[in-house]
Structure 1
Amino acid sequence: MGAQKKGGARVSDDTEEQTRQRLQAILLADSFTTKFRPVTLERPKVLLPLANVPMIDYTLAWLESAGIEEVFVFCCAHSTQITDYLQTSSEQQSHPNLLVRTIESHRSISAGDALRYIYEQQTETSQIQGDFVLVSGDTVSNMPLADLIREHRERKKKDEKAIMTMVIKKSKPSPMTRQSRLGTDELFVAVDPVTKQLLHYEVDHVRGSVCLDKALMESNPSVMICNDMQDCYIDVCSPEVLSLFEDNFDYQHLRRDFFKGVLGDDIMGYKIFTHEIGSSYASRVDNFRSYDTVSKDIIQRWTYPYVPDVNFSGNRPLKVGRQGVYKASDVVQSRSADVGACSVVGYGTKIGNGGRVLNSVIGNGCCIGADVVIEGSYVWDNVVIEDGCEIRNAIVCDGVRIRAGAVLQPGVVLSFKVVVGRGFVVPAYSKVSLLQQPMKEDSDEELEYADSSSGTADRLSGLSLEMESKGSELGPDGVGYIWEVCEGAHDEEWKHSVAPIPEDKLAEIIQAMEDDDTEDEIVPRKSEELKSDVDSVNTDVNDPGDDYGYFEREVEGTFLRAVEEGIKVELGILEINSLRLSYNMESADCAGAIFYAMMKLAVDTPHSSLRELSENASSIIAKWKGLLGNYVKHTDEQIEVIMKFEEMCQETARELSPLFAQILQVLYDKEVVQEDAILRWAEEKAGADEADKVYLQQCEAFIQWLKEASEEEDEEEEED
């Protein structure tokens, strides 16, 4: 083990035990998978950028802020790149309160091998001293760790067999959530609802079938079953965990092998417990689709304080503007160019005339020509995109050159320094690299490329010259190989892509969700011994009263994604309904949250006058009235929308205050709120204090008109 960094150790004062014992973590900087090929043949996954910051920096910054004082970074493939990067970070004092040590092993081909090697390499001066946090270097989180560590230690004092506490979170049952998790394991767990002990852990279980050991049922008469949980792959472990890997060489996978072995071993009697998080954020970047999801979460600030405009890990913060647009201070953008909502543009980047960037991340030092369209994509550093190119839902790595008029169809991945020829159309879901496709899919092949990295630059340079001289698969002036899709996997490429799910596949997912809901209701009843308490899943949430605030943020994020991705109203309703069921909310709650999101979007959309702001609001109401209208079918729900509007004008969106009456009339004209709701609201406000009648007075003429129109209608009915 070599010390990479020394800093002032920050000691927690929560308990005397914590004061004596340094808080430590093991960070696995290798995922031991091939899901990010061909990119990871040239660069380790933990150094790939998320919103222009390497993944590992998010993990290290979180560990440091959560009180961890020493972290052991295990490196396998491309270990030299990782150690060099950490050394540079050390020199720049990126993590001043964190002691970072690297452990290298080129013989490890699994997480189990890594933990065995760490155990073997311990010395008196460099070792795991007690309980430690185990995490992957592709984890983004802002959850506090102090309570989790304290909970684990207190449990261990009472029961020495409690060796691990794993972090889980409830997965919202929605098409968009299911979309972000495609390609990851479907998880089924059984937990003791009182002690939170993990009783059963199964991935890729057969839907509609729950098989639990009879002995487990006899010793645990009450069991909570869950198939709507996500494993965050964040664990607090006792030192016994390392020794168990040392003693059991068949433990390779952290979950499939280790959990199965521990839960099935009645002799040793070791126990694993769960810790569910509520409003905190925790996710792994497991494949290209989750890369896209986590990137969007960062841009939409779910990961705060690890967001583009905050300085963490020594990154250069960007300026944040309207609609979640982050830009470096030295970006050169032509007047006719447009950078749209939820986008990031890095330092030294230039955007030419007529360029359009929407819902995308652009790295540092990029040169984007005239009339280029970039949508839903990730363009890394020092990329050159010539005039007239189209890039949609693609990943473009460092040093790529895309010549004039070229098109990247959805799902394309261009690895480092690839050149796309003029006018060439790269087919959807293609993976392109300067390296030829490996003949086998072993996860340790990254090691073969990494071990020969000294000659990689010369090899790639020679390849570039050779391919340019005789043409390539990317056009006469292109450079690179288009990898073939493995046999039998062609129809599955969409699952792991940053591209939106095709409509026919999305329909299948929605149908599967509905089938799952039906099956989930039936499964627990198949055994009278099994007592299912699904409602108790969220018992760890500290403040039930905060549910609405979190629900409101979820609805806002859902609405913004629907706007950005052109989601149909019907699918939006399905998504909101899923959130409503998950949070146990009423239609009125949904209506208020949706209207809040709509008006916030109106304010965040660029405008230079109240007239333009009013036009923004009117346009959004007109387009999304079907979504809002689904939750305002009764007068009380319509009144909730009006009251929510009042609250916004007074607190969060005062810019809308002068437009209250005008927008209320738009809601009436679009048949979102009816006359009865407006008049009832007015009657209730009539008895309020003068200070609370501001918006009532603003609507006086409109309300009077409604009353007169109502009276005339009554008179006409009497005459008839």
Structure 2
Amino acid sequence: MRPSVSTTQEFLKEGEEGVAMGVQRKGANRVSEDPEELTRVPLQAILLADSFATKFRPITLERPKVLLPVVNVPMINYTLAWLESAGVEEVIVFCCAHSKQVIDYLESSEWFSHPNFSVTTIVSHNSISAGDALRVIYERNVINGDFVLISGDAVSNMSLTQVLKEHKERKKKDSNAVMTMVIRPSKPSPITRQSRLGTDELFLAIDPNTKQLLYYEEKAEYSKGVICLDKLLLTDNPSISLHNDAQDCYIDICSPEVLSLFTDNFDYQHLRRHFVKALLVDDIMDYKIFTHEIHSSYAARIDNFRSYDTISKDIIQRRTYPFVPDVKFFGNSATKLERQGMYRASEVVQSRYAEIGPFTVIGNGTKIESNTKISNSVVGEGCTIGSNVSIEGSYIWDNVIIEDDCKIMHAIVCDGVVMKSGAVLEPGVVLSFKVVIGQQFVVPSYSKVSLHPQPTKQDSDEELEYADDSSGVAKILSITSTLEGSKEAMTSQLLEKQSWPTYELGTGGVGYVWSVCEGSHEEEWRHSIAPIPADKLAEAMQTTDDDLELLTHDGSVLPTAGELKPDYIDSDDDVNEDSRDESFESEVEEAFLRFVCENIKEENAISEQRTFRVTCTKSCADAAGVIFYSMMKLSLETPHSSPSELFNNAVNVITQWQKLLKSFLTDIDAEIEVILKFEEMCLESTTEFSPLFSQILWLLYDKEIIQEDAILKWDDEKKDADDFDKVFVKKSEEFIKWLREAPEEDDEEVGED
């Protein structure tokens, strides 16, 4: 990443409604003699800074979603930092609700002073959907060629080189190839599908040869668990790959024609439900959409509170590198990575008797008193946390006051909140800005609390009204922002200004508890950051892919995943095994890190992994190899400065999770698979372990994870191998020799006795 730029340049401002602001790139007036350079169009991106949804209420009634902190960095910075690193040169940020907050933030940020990266904004308060936004952008005539379409809640580290190349090559051959969608293998297990991102299951039909998208459907729109495919779709294509294990990353490469298509059809409001699905069935225009699948890179969208939690954990666990807490990129202040994935800013005041657990981030200026325990959480800047406080799996934003003896479990606490002594937040609670929770008050699970009373309607454009509202709560918010002094003074002045229903939040409490809307009880647990309730998890574990039936219009039943050939009805599934293997390995690794991050009991981890293995039709040896890889990778990513410290990391991880690994070592073949996996790691992905191979092999033997017979059989199988394949056998010669001779020594001792 390039270093941050602090130079200031003049801003270009045009108009008021639909303001376009930005900076000129350095070298914009340079004249080039290179023909390719003269014809080259700078790569542009359209960033939608409004999600046109209500899933983050009540928070988004006061602050736009793209400015909400994700691991103490405003959400939009992850999107902009990725676009800049991926080679995008001009970004058009479309603002709607809370547009002034977005523009003020961008103007004061480093983005408007970057020498090689232009950020401009377009505002329209009349737009209530993504379709409306794209129509406004088309009218402004600011797009000059192919562009990246993305929302400001996307986090990615993927390269755009290959997907851009594919898109341009297709366009040269077929002018109707107008869009390429980025997708990612998702979770084949119903458990992980419902727990990871909280999004609906997605069903796709793709031409495996051309990667053309042929069918797109979200499970929310399934009719009684049945999807009907037109038989012509199957007969017109030599083969079709069916996917219900893919994630839509909402990152699209678009041709300029996409904007005109929205302008020609005002029924296109939602990008997927309306636009994509309509193009797939349009026989007249014959426009085509293609897919680009990523595997090793990261891309995901923060669509609800559960995905907010998941992606935050992925950032802390460094899956989004280089966009991680200890790396300086635009809009963040880097923290120091310490042991077990714990990040701490330089100016944190912490009692020596406070305990900060793994996978936790503590922001600048925060004070933590004695006997307080914080783990798997993010704490923002300027917070005051008292004594005997417990914070687990939660997100505490800036300038929060938490008094003594409070307990917070899997909750979100926004800026300026005050929790009086002994208050408790049960899992799934969301406290919006400057709420006060009374002494000893227990906020029930999944409650949402705000200074705003609950709206009587749930329209996505209603936030525009709140953004422009200068009465009622807005006045009180203004008062609280200027108050100085104790939290007691703040609370008393608030109560004088407004008749608050304090009984809802205990004595001294300030705010409204929102009721759960009728019909949305399931969304409460699906979209919450709280762990899935035991009854819902059990229900999910019993669900299989057979619950979804895929039919042709004549009633023929089709498989829901795999590849269909022309004789699809009579043929067996031809599954892309490489893709399945990569997906399985990725899911097992993600699950293991979640077990570590959330302190999942080993018994529960074993149960979940067993179910997942069976669902994916993988052997115990397959699972054991991937679990061991995940354990060693965690050891490597835990801070260390010498081989001995790395070995100690491995000892700690293996000791803690040996029961999980041993549960899949059902025979010698599975144990040998672990040894082979370790060989592969030392040669390729984690070469730092290479000098420690024999030590860790001995450790596995000493912990009774790998048996003597497995090690000796591994040695026997290597006898006729090439020298390259015998590197680690030779490293372990003394240990293997000891194993072979030890039984003889035992026999001699028995004879002497």
Report the TM-score range of the alignment, normalised by the length of the smaller protein.
Answer: 0.7 to 0.9
Residues 488-527 of structure 1 aligned to structure 2 (within 5 Å): 488-513=519-544, 515-516=546-547, 523-524=557-558
Structure 1 residue 147: Cα displacement = 2.0
Which segments of 5 or more consecutive residues in structure 2 lack a partner in the other structure?
Answer: 1-18, 480-492
1:151 maps onto 2:188 in alignment? no
More displaced 10-residue stretch of structure 1: 704-713 or 366-375: 704-713
1:486 maps onto 2:517 in alignment? yes
Following the alignment from structure 1 to structure 2, what is the Cα–Cα distance between the partners of residues 377 and 149?
38
More displaced 10-residue stretch of structure 1: 131-140 or 699-708: 699-708
Structure 1 residue 675: Cα displacement = 3.4
Select which of 302, 306, 310 maps to 2:327.
310
DSSP-derived class of the 1:232 partner = strand
More displaced 10-residue stretch of structure 1: 402-411 or 177-186: 177-186
1:598 maps onto 2:631 in alignment? yes
Aligned to 1:25: 45
1:106 maps onto 2:125 in alignment? yes
Following the alignment from structure 2 to structure 1, what is the Cα–Cα distance between the partners of residues 719 and 20?
74
1:370 maps onto 2:370 in alignment? no
Structure 1 residue 410: Cα displacement = 0.3
1:81 maps onto 2:81 in alignment? no
Following the alignment from structure 1 to structure 2, what is the Cα–Cα distance between the partners of residues 148 and 616?
39
DSSP-derived class of the 1:485 partner = coil
Following the alignment from structure 1 to structure 2, what is the Cα–Cα distance between the partners of residues 610 and 574?
33
Select which of 403, 411, 419 maps to 1:402.
419
Structure 1 residue 695: Cα displacement = 3.8
Residues 221-620 of structure 1 aligned to structure 2 (within 5 Å): 221-453=238-470, 457-460=474-477, 461=479, 463-466=494-497, 471-513=502-544, 515-516=546-547, 523-524=557-558, 531=568, 555-565=588-598, 566-569=600-603, 571-572=605-606, 574-575=608-609, 578=612, 587-599=620-632
Aligned to 1:219: 236
Q: CA distance change for structure 1 residues 564 and 23 in 2, over 3 Å: closer, same or farther?
A: closer
Any idea what the Cα deviations from partners look like across 1:114-139, whole Å, max 9, x if unmatched?
111111233xxxx1111111110000
Following the alignment from structure 1 to structure 2, what is the Cα–Cα distance between the partners of residues 42 and 32?
15
* TM-score calculated relative to the size of structure 2: 0.83
Amino acid aligned to 2:130: A
Following the alignment from structure 2 to structure 1, what is the Cα–Cα distance between the partners of residues 467 and 325?
31
Following the alignment from structure 1 to structure 2, what is the Cα–Cα distance between the partners of residues 387 and 157?
66
DSSP-derived class of the 2:427 partner = coil
DSSP-derived class of the 1:72 partner = strand
Select which of 71, 86, 90 maps to 1:66.
86
DSSP-derived class of the 1:297 partner = helix
Which segments of 5 or more consecutive residues in structure 1 lack a partner in the other structure?
Answer: 716-720
Structure 1 residue 564: Cα displacement = 3.4
Select which of 686, 707, 711 maps to 1:674.
707
Contact 1:326 1:343 in 2 (8 A): yes
Q: CA distance change for structure 1 residues 710 and 261 in 2, over 3 Å: closer, same or farther?
A: farther
More displaced 10-residue stretch of structure 1: 108-117 or 32-41: 108-117
Following the alignment from structure 1 to structure 2, what is the Cα–Cα distance between the partners of residues 155 and 49?
38
Q: CA distance change for structure 1 residues 78 and 663 in 2, over 3 Å: closer, same or farther?
A: same
Q: CA distance change for structure 1 residues 309 and 609 in 2, over 3 Å: closer, same or farther?
A: closer
Aligned to 2:487: none
DSSP-derived class of the 1:26 partner = strand
Q: CA distance change for structure 1 residues 34 and 516 in 2, over 3 Å: closer, same or farther?
A: same
Any idea what the Cα deviations from partners look like across 1:190-231, whole Å, max 9, x if unmatched?
222222222222222247533122333343242222222111
Structure 1 residue 358: Cα displacement = 0.7
Following the alignment from structure 2 to structure 1, what is the Cα–Cα distance between the partners of residues 672 and 342?
34
Q: CA distance change for structure 1 residues 524 and 551 in 2, over 3 Å: closer, same or farther?
A: closer
Aligned to 2:486: none
Q: CA distance change for structure 1 residues 646 and 131 in 2, over 3 Å: closer, same or farther?
A: closer
Select which of 51, 59, 73 maps to 1:39.
59
DSSP-derived class of the 2:405 partner = coil
Q: CA distance change for structure 1 residues 421 and 194 in 2, over 3 Å: closer, same or farther?
A: same
Contact 1:331 1:350 in 2 (8 A): yes
Contact 1:13 1:19 in 2 (8 A): no
Q: CA distance change for structure 1 residues 221 and 287 in 2, over 3 Å: closer, same or farther?
A: same
Contact 2:41 2:144 in 1 (8 A): yes
* TM-score calculated relative to the size of structure 1: 0.87
Q: CA distance change for structure 1 residues 385 and 694 in 2, over 3 Å: closer, same or farther?
A: same
Following the alignment from structure 1 to structure 2, what is the Cα–Cα distance between the partners of residues 207 and 709?
67
Contact 2:362 2:378 in 1 (8 A): yes
Following the alignment from structure 2 to structure 1, what is the Cα–Cα distance between the partners of residues 149 and 294?
17
Report how many residues are paired: 699
Contact 1:171 1:228 in 2 (8 A): yes
More displaced 10-residue stretch of structure 1: 467-476 or 44-53: 467-476
Following the alignment from structure 2 to structure 1, what is the Cα–Cα distance between the partners of residues 505 and 34?
60
Contact 2:213 2:291 in 1 (8 A): yes
Select which of 146, 158, 161 maps to 1:131.
146
